[in-house]
Chains A and B, each alone.
Chain A
Amino acid sequence: MTLTARIVKRVSPSFSIDVDFRASGGITILFGASGSGKSTILRCIAGLMTPDAGRITLDDTVLYDHDARVNAPPRHRRVGMVFQHLALFPHLTVAANIDYGLSGVPAAERDRRRTETAGMFGIDGFLDRKPDRLSGGERQRVALARTLVTEPSLLLLDEPLTALDFDIQSRIIDDLRRWNQQRRIPVLYVTHSHREVYALGEQVVVVGHGRVLATGVPHAVLEHPTHPLVASLAGFENLLPGQVLARDEVGGTMHVRVGTSGPELEVPIADVPGGSWVTIGIRAGDILIASEPPHGLSALNIIEASLTASRREGPTIVAEMVTATGTRLVVHVTPRAFERLGLHSGGRVWLAVKTYSCRVARNDTIRGELS
């Protein structure tokens, strides 16, 4: 099974969606910030919303084709959808919720499928309960079972697991993977958390401002972002706009001036002409802090800065730095290292960044994106 979707939809005068992507068997993550249009895309595929133009197919079945005037109603699409807030029917028991999508199925077959799916998702213990007497994780499982029992040809998941803790989340995903092992239907999983992308996805489609920014396997897309928006979604805490000063084709590096007067960085070479503007992405955990000017270090990028603020976030200390020219950087350090260095607000530090810790994203990937 392969989903092919080309969707054009004007959501408001200032926001429109124009995407084109494919998803084959297995989990494909639809990844983007909230408000990027992910949910609208899902609703168009499910048939709950009609695009302005485009074409949506599932193998040879045409679900929507603007030019051919095809627009199958949701009930004929064989598309399963689990909503962000699950939308379990509050007046029906778990069993009745699961049976809801099996109305045309003979009673014996219906009982068999309900029992099988309930067993698979571990909800057979409370089939006679109403949804308001279930825990968050149990509700997720019921919502998933209610959808999968109908044997859809495509599954759409709209951030259904975001509210759960990671343990429960990954167990539910394991169940889903097991369910899908033989079937190999495309599963489109919407999320805005980059952790989920790594944990769940075989493929990722990154969406920003209603456009597809990147597609591929999660590691390749997120570790080497080619677009500033992808870099920020991928958890690069430091995104520094800068201008390419010089390219060294032989050494495989190039020099970039941060801002108009900020520090100069050596970064991996990218396919951009000298003089053009790029965005450098650096993870906060990839920056070293020294309390005096370092020497004898392989890292070539040494930036002098001072500490402006620090706060604790879980096991790490998030330190905010600013250079003399006003460039701001976020650095993650362990509490022990923070103490050992005797860091304090206003104190002078030197930040070391390896060339290969810098990711280069082109600013012109999409017109007018980051102006």
Chain B
Amino acid sequence: MDWQAFGLSIRLAATVSAILLVLAVPLAYWLSVTRFRGRFLVESVVSLPLVLPPTVLGFYVLVALGARSPLGRWWTQWTGHGLAFTFEGLVIASLLYSLPFAVQPLAAAFAQLDPTLRDASAVLGASPWRTFLRITMPLSLEGFLAALVLTFAHTIGEFGIVLMVGGNLPGITRTVSIAIYDDVQALRYDEARATAFVLLLLSFLLLAAVYGIRRRPWAASPLA
């Protein structure tokens, strides 16, 4: 079994989950409270990775990260090397790819919260930020957990976009799903079988954790 690939996948998934949780919270909150008429357009863009073939997304990311794009040029000037076929490039691509898996559970959790709880908090003297920390967040813990686990599991399992953006460099961009592909190509079925089984088990355990916790829902409102 390719433990190096496993370690890399977990490092990638953890990095992406951590960054996404910070990025997705304001976006999800905005989506759940805004009266902006173009909200559906933003929702569609956020959800694109759900339906787009990973190769299509990967292609665009590759172009955007490349030496000819403004982002790629800026990155090269700043760090001295390009973004494509690096771990950083993989992180950026995965952020986009896993965005809906973080935003959707959070937005759903925020939207099902009784809005008069926020009103009550405001009238009791709390700033919007304090209302978020003391009311919205604790009452949406389930959404936070779902977002975290789904993002993590989804990032671990991605394949097409990694191949497009990261290639197959051991220890740098060779994630566990690429390793399985490699093993099969080289007819190393025993290796592939073991890795695939560990991945299957991990995914199942993560999902079981999410659904297990969901079985005891928060009493969001005593009157609901």
Contacts and interface: CB of A to CB of B under 8 A. Distances in A.
Interface stretch (B38-46, B103-111, B117-125, B198-206): B117-125
A91 B218 CA distance: 9
Interface of B: 114, 116-117, 119-127, 130, 134-135, 138-139, 218-223
B220 A90 contact: yes
A186 interface: no
Contacts of A85: 114, 116, 221, 223
A227 interface: no
Q: Give the interface size class of chain A.
A: 20 to 34
Given A100-B124, A147-B124, A150-B124, A87 B119 contact: yes
A150 B117 contact: no
A48 B120 CA distance: 10
Given A81-B120, A83-B120, A90-B139, A131 B126 contact: no
Contacts of A104: 125
Interface string A174-203: 000000000000000000000000000000
A132 interface: yes
A164 to B, nearest CB: 14
B219 A101 contact: no
Contacts of A101: 124-125
Contacts of A134: 222
Nearest to A86: B223
Contacts of B119: 43, 46, 48, 74, 81, 83, 87
B126 A87 contact: no
Interface in A88-131: 88-91, 100-101, 103-104, 131
Interface of A: 43, 46-48, 73-75, 77, 79-81, 83, 85-91, 100-101, 103-104, 131-132, 134, 139, 146-147, 150
16 contacts: A43-B119, A46-B119, A48-B123, A74-B122, A74-B123, A75-B123, A83-B119, A87-B114, A87-B117, A90-B222, A91-B139, A91-B218, A100-B124, A132-B219, A147-B124, A150-B125
Contacts of B117: 87, 89
Given A75-B123, A77-B123, A134-B222, 18 more contacts: A48-B119, A48-B123, A74-B119, A74-B122, A75-B122, A80-B123, A81-B119, A81-B123, A89-B120, A90-B139, A90-B218, A90-B220, A91-B218, A100-B134, A104-B125, A139-B222, A146-B124, A147-B123
A101 B126 CA distance: 7
Contacts of A75: 122-127
A6 to B, nearest CB: 21
Given A46-B123, A48-B123, A103-B126, A87 B116 contact: yes
A74 B127 CA distance: 9
B135 A89 contact: yes
B118 to A, nearest CB: 9
B138 A91 contact: yes
Contacts of A77: 123
A139 B139 CA distance: 19
A103 B138 contact: no
A43 B115 CA distance: 13
